[in-house]
Amino acid sequence: MRYSTLLVLTLGSLAAAAPRDCAQKLKEQVSPPRGWTKVKPASAEHNINLRIGLPQANFAQLEKHLYEISDPFNERYGDHLSKEEVEALIAPHDESIQLVEEWLASHGISADDLTRSPAKDWVTIKVPVSLAEKMLDTEYHVWLHDESGDTMVRTTSYSLPEHLHEHIEVVQPTTMFGRFKGMKATYHYADTERPSVDLSQPWIPIPSAYNGEVNASCNASITPTCLKELYNGVGYTPSATNANKIGITAYLGQYANFEDFHNFTAMFVPDAASSSFEVVYIDGGQNNQTLSAAGLEADLDTQYAFGLTYPTPGTFYTTGGMPPYIPDDDTPTDTNEPYANWLDYILSDPSPPQTISTSYGDNEQTVPESYAKRVCEDLAQLGARGVSLLFASGDFGVGDGDANPETQTCYTNNGLNETKFIPGFPASCPYVTSVGATWYIPEETYFISGGGFSNYFSRPDYQAVAVPEYLSKLAPGTYEGLYNPYGRGIPDVSAQGQWFWVYYAGQLGQIGGTSAATPTFSGFVSLLNDARLAKKLPPLGFLNPLIYAAGAFAPKAFNDIVGGSNPGCGTEGFNATIGWDPVTGFGTPNFYNLKDIVLGDMDLLIGGLSL
C-alpha cells in the first residue's frame, strides 16, 4: 500500500490504542558494520518491505522428524513430510498471531495490508521509513559499502513493545548488512597455476575414476565428460525424468542465456544440444536474453548442473532485488534481500525440485544471528519435505572476502576489531550441504576452498565423531581463539572448482570457484535421486546424515583429499587430512559407489562394510 504523510498521521490518530503496555524495549542491536559508511538519514518516503518472523511453535519436533527421516540407520529413512505437515508443525501460536495483528492495527495497518507465509510464521508489510521508525523506535540511514559502492537503507538497532518480544523473533530489513554475493573465483586465472599436461600420455591413472583413468586433457580443461570420468559417472542415463527435477537459484541480475547454453551443450553435451530449461520469475526477477546481459554465475551453474543431468528437467529461478539501490530516487524501494523472496516462493511450492544448488552467500557475521537462525529453520523445512539443498562454502579459505589471503584482516563486526576466521552463510546452516573445491588431476585441495566453523550454529549430531576426530589431530593451541571449535564445521563435501569451460556472452572461456564445485556436486546428487525415484524409492532429501555415515563406514563413497590448506587471515588455514576436514569435507563423489549405497537400503553401511 502507499502512504502519504497526511494519511500516516491520520491513521495514527484514529487507530485504537494497543491493548497491552506499549513500552518499547530494545530487541536487537549491532555495531556499525566494518566496510560500511553511514551516509545520511533515509528518506521518510522510502518504502521498506518489513518481514516479521513469529516463533515457530513446534520447530523442535520438525527438527526431530528431519533427523529421523534423513538418518540411513533409522527405520523412518526417506519418510519425508508433506508441505501441509511441515506447515502444521511450524505454525505460530494463535496468541502470537493475534498480538502482532493488534500491534500492526495500532499503527493503522489492517489485515488486508499483510502478506503471510503459508504457515503464517512470516508477516510482510510494505511501509515507508517514517512509519517503520515509529513502529521500531529507531532511525534508518543510507549506508554505503565502501568496496563495491552498493547502498542500503538499514539501522543498527530496533525495539518492540515489551509484551511482543516473546511473540516476534526477528524483524528485517533492519540490522542485516549481508550482500549475498556469488561465489566465483574470477581472480584465479594465473597461467603459473596451470598444471603442465603431457598429452603424449593420453590418460591419467585414477583408480577411483571410471575404468580407472581420466583423459589427460581434463587436467586444465574441465567439461561435463571430464567430471563424469573423474567421479565414476560415465554411462548412467537418467530415466525418472517424469518425477525428478533439479533447480538452480540466481540473484543480483544474473541471467542464464539460452544461446550460451545451446552453444555449450552442442560442444560438450551433444545429446542435450536441443534441450532447454524452465525459467521461474520471482518477485520481479528477469532473464534478459541480450548476450551482453548474460551472467557468468548463471551460465556456469545452468550449463553444468543441467548438462550433467540431461535429460532431467531443470529449473532456473531468477529472483528480483539487486543492488545498488539508488538513494536519490523520488520513490525508492529497497530490495536488497532477494534470498528471502526466493525462500517465500519455494516454501509455497507444493512440488519443488528434489535437488537445488546455490552458489551464493556471504560472511556469516554480516547476517544477524537471529535472522540467520530463522533462515536456517526455513531451509530445514525443505529438507524435511525431501529437498537436497547444496550451498557453496565460499572462495576465500578461512578469510573474509579479500581475494588476497595475505592481506585479509578478518576483523569481527562486534566493534572490538578482533581477528577471527570468517565462516560463510548459508553454508554454515546445519540443515544444508556445504560444498568446497578441489583442483588438478589427481585431485588436490584448492586453496580458495571456504571452510571452518560456525559462530552461530553448534556442532550437529551427525558431526559428533568426524569433527572431534579432526580437531584431535591439530597441534595443541593451533589457531586458538580464531575459530569456534564447538561450531558446525564446513564444508561437508567438495568437487572440482577450476578451469571449467563455460560459454558466456557468446564467448568460450574458463572459470572456477566453489560456484563451479556446487552445481557439479548437485548434478551427481540429482543423478542419485533419479536412481532412487526410478526404483520407486523416495528422494534423498537432507543429505548430511547419509554423507557422514558413508564417510565413516564406506570410505570409497568419496575420494578423500589429503594435503594442502585454505589460507586466510594471515594464517595457513586448516589442513586437509584423512577423513573429514574443514577444507574439502569428506572429499569428492564416487557416483557408482554412492549409487550402490542409496539403492541398497543402506545395507552397505551396516556393520562398517567398505565398498
- The string of DSSP codes covering 43-88 is PTT-EEEEEEEPP-TTHHHHHHHHHHHH-TTSTTTT-PPPHHHHHH
What's the CATH number where 204 sits? 3.40.50.200
Q: Rounded distance, CA 201 to CA 425, Å? A: 42
Q: Give residue 409's pLDDT.
A: 74
User: Is 260 found in the same domain as 158?
Assistant: no
Q: State the catalytic residue, choosing from 159, 357, 388, 515.
A: 515
Of 149, 177, 205, the domain-final residue: 177
| CA atoms within 13 A of residue 518's CA, in its CB half-sphere | 38
Q: Give residue 339's pLDDT.
A: 85
Of 147, 177, 207, the domain-final residue: 177
User: Is 299 found in the same domain as 277?
Assistant: yes
Judged against a pLDDT cut of 80, whether residue 96 lies above it is answered with yes
Q: What is the per-residue pLDDT across 277-304, written as a single tens digit (0 to 9) for each?
A: 999 999 889 999 999 999 999 999 999 9
Percent of the chain predicted with pLDDT > 70: 88
Question: pTM (2 decimals)?
Answer: 0.93
Q: How confident is the model at residue 437 (pLDDT cuts 50, 70, 90)?
A: very high
Q: Give residue 11's pLDDT.
A: 40
Report yes or no: 315 and 285 within 8 Å, Cβ to Cβ: no
Q: Give residue 331's pLDDT.
A: 41
Paired strand residues for 588: 559
Report yes or no: 393 and 451 within 8 Å, Cβ to Cβ: yes
116 found inside a domain: yes
User: Is 206 found in the same domain as 96?
Assistant: no
| CA atoms within 13 A of residue 455's CA, in its CB half-sphere | 19
Q: What is the per-residue pLDDT across 546-562, written as a single tens digit (0 to 9) for each?
A: 999 999 999 899 999 99
User: Is 151 found in the same domain as 227?
Assistant: no
Q: How confident is the model at residue 194 (pLDDT cuts 50, 70, 90)?
A: low
108 found inside a domain: yes
CB-based burial of residue 107 (10 Å sphere; 0-12 exposed, 13-18 middle, 19+ buried)? middle
73 found inside a domain: no
Q: Give residue 390's pLDDT.
A: 98
Q: Give residue 601's pLDDT.
A: 55
Judged against a pLDDT cut of 90, whether residue 602 lies above it is answered with no
74 found inside a domain: no
Q: What is the mean pLDDT of residues 253-282?
A: 97
Judged against a pLDDT cut of 90, whether residue 346 lies above it is answered with yes
CB-based contacts of 46: which residues, under 8 Å, 6+ apart? 128, 129, 140, 153, 332, 333, 334
Catalytic status, residue 522: no
182 found inside a domain: no
Q: Rounded distance, CA 467 to CA 452, Å? A: 11
User: Is 603 found in the same domain as 501?
Assistant: yes
User: Is 337 found in the same domain as 445?
Assistant: yes
User: Is 211 found in the same domain as 168?
Assistant: no
Question: How high is the mean pLDDT of the chain?
Answer: 89
66 found inside a domain: no
Instruction: Give the lowest-confidence range in 33-37, 377-381, 418-422.
Output: 33-37
Q: Give residue 21's pLDDT.
A: 52
Residue type at 197?
Answer: V
Q: Rounded distance, CA 87 to CA 434, Å? A: 25
Q: What is the mean pLDDT of residues 419-445?
A: 96
User: Is 264 found in the same domain as 335?
Assistant: yes
Catalytic status, residue 297: yes
Q: Domain residues for 460?
A: 191-608
Judged against a pLDDT cut of 80, whether residue 417 lies above it is answered with no
**What would the DSSP string read from start to end of 436-492?**
EEEETTTTEE-TT---EEEEEEEPPGGGTTHHHHHHHHSPTTTTTTTS-TTEEEE-S
63 found inside a domain: no
Report yes or no: 467 and 489 within 8 Å, Cβ to Cβ: yes
User: Is 131 found in the same domain as 254?
Assistant: no
Q: What is the mean pLDDT of residues 192-215?
A: 84
Q: What is the per-residue pLDDT across 2-39, written as a single tens digit (0 to 9) for each?
A: 444 433 444 444 344 444 556 899 999 998 888 889 99
Going by the annotation, the residues of the binding site for Ca(2+) are 560-561, 579, 581
| CA atoms within 13 A of residue 529's CA, in its CB half-sphere | 28
Paired strand residues for 248: 316, 357
Q: Rounded distance, CA 252 to CA 256, Å? A: 12
577 found inside a domain: yes
User: Is 159 found in the same domain as 121?
Assistant: yes
CB-based burial of residue 153 (10 Å sphere; 0-12 exposed, 13-18 middle, 19+ buried)? buried
Report yes or no: 513 and 42 within 8 Å, Cβ to Cβ: no
Q: Rounded distance, CA 357 to CA 301, Å? A: 8
Q: Give residue 3's pLDDT.
A: 41
Report yes or no: 561 and 445 within 8 Å, Cβ to Cβ: yes
User: Is 280 found in the same domain as 136?
Assistant: no
Q: State the catalytic residue, choosing from 28, 133, 297, 362.
A: 297
What's the grid cell of residue 158? 530496533
Q: Give residue 16's pLDDT.
A: 41
Percent of the chain predicted with pLDDT > 90: 77
Q: What is the per-residue pLDDT across 391-405, written as a single tens digit (0 to 9) for each?
A: 999 999 998 776 566
- Say how many domains are in the chain: 2
For cell 548412467, what's the residue? 236
- Of 300, 307, 405, give the one whose Cα is nearest residue 358: 300
Instruction: Give the lowest-confidence range in 21-25, 468-472, 506-510.
Output: 21-25
User: Is 173 found in the same domain as 199?
Assistant: no
Q: What is the mean pLDDT of residues 218-235?
A: 96
Instruction: Give the lowest-confidence range in 161-170, 185-194, 592-601.
Output: 185-194
Q: How confident is the model at residue 466 (pLDDT cuts 50, 70, 90)?
A: very high
Of 151, 177, 203, the domain-final residue: 177
CB-based burial of residue 243 (10 Å sphere; 0-12 exposed, 13-18 middle, 19+ buried)? middle
